[in-house]
Amino acid sequence: MIRAVIFDLDGVIVSTDEFHYQGWQRLADEEGIYFDRKTNERLRGVSRLESLEIILEKADRNYSREEKAEMAERKNNYYRDLLHTLTPDDVFPGVMEMLKELKEKGIKIAIGSSSKNTPSILQKIGMESSFDAVSDGNQIKRSKPDPEVFLLAASKLQIPPGQCLVVEDADAGVEAAINAGMKCLAVGSASANPKAHLRANNLNEITVEQILNT
């Protein structure tokens, strides 16, 4: 029986994934490093510095730790500039309806995101008080596919991992949910992931009953 649903943020609740892509593309262009949308798929759910390491696989020289820190910060500044345009209208279709129905049924809801920008994103989309718990990149040491962010969410909710379901758009996040001993609904970019227990293009295609009976 599912008693809690833990939502990934970027790519599940809101379309900030496109802003991450634009920020990294700008940085890569400035540095003369090849980067495209296919490589960008590997960055989903992965921390900022680990994302940079993936981009640097295509670089023709080594970068010092200081240079990497500066590049990660530069990308984050580009990303945060783009976040200024974010409003409640950017919440994906089906999200608000699903949260409302889960709450009405007494199911706990949480955020489980690798992003250190989670608090400001939730504030911009008017959802800072919408969840029973928020677990994010500021509170963890190891990012997805490590289960830490989801286990922290479950412990804040005081629900055993086996009674939690994670909604994810990243293959690394599906892996993290399974590593946490949780069920997983894969959406968007992860919707073909065979390891997920449920799959859909978006939340409009899934009913709360399907989630609770997983």
Binding site for ligand B16 (CB under 6 A): 8-11, 20, 43-48, 51, 76, 113-117, 137, 170
Give the shortest CB-104-to-ligand B16 separation in angstroms. 25
Enumerate the H helices of 84-205 as residue ranges. 95-104, 118-124, 148-157, 171-179
Which listed option, Mg ion, ligand B16, none, makes contact with residue 51 (CB within 5 to 8 Å by class)? Answer: ligand B16
Torsion of CA 7, 146, 191, 75, to 10 degrees: 80
Residue nearest to Mg ion (CB): 11
Look at the alpha carbons of 74, 75, 78, 82 in this order and tell me if their dihedral is positive or negative: negative
Is residue 8 at the binding interface for Mg ion, with CB under 5 A as the rule? yes
169 catalytic residue (yes or no): no
Residues 34 and 58 sit within 8 Å (Cβ to Cβ): yes
Q: How far is the CB of 115 from Mg ion (least distance, A)?
A: 8
Q: Which of 8, 17, 136, 169 is catalytic?
A: 8
Q: Which one among 169, 182, 183, 193 touches Mg ion, defined by CB under 5 A?
A: 169
Give the residue among 146, 210, 1 at the shortest CA–CA distance from 135: 146
- Our CB check for Mg ion shows the closer of 8 and 146 to be 8
Return the half-sphere exposure (C-beta side, CA atoms, 13 A cut-off) of residue 160: 3
Q: How far apart are CA 194 and CA 24, in angstroms?
A: 28
11 binds Mg ion (CB under 5 A): yes
Q: What is the DSSP letter of 97?
A: H
Shortest distance, position 134 Cβ to ligand B16, whole Å: 11
**Could you give the angle at the alpha carbon of 114 between the alpha carbons of 76 and 132, nearest 5°?**
120
Is 23 an interacting residue with respect to Mg ion (CB under 5 A)? no
Q: Select 115 or 130, whichever has its Cβ closest to ligand B16.
A: 115
Q: Is 8 a catalytic residue?
A: yes
Q: Which residues in the 28-67 window bind Mg ion by CB under 5 A?
A: 45
Residues that bind Mg ion (CB under 5 A): 8, 10-11, 45, 169-170
Where in the sequence numbering do the catalytic residues fall? 8, 10
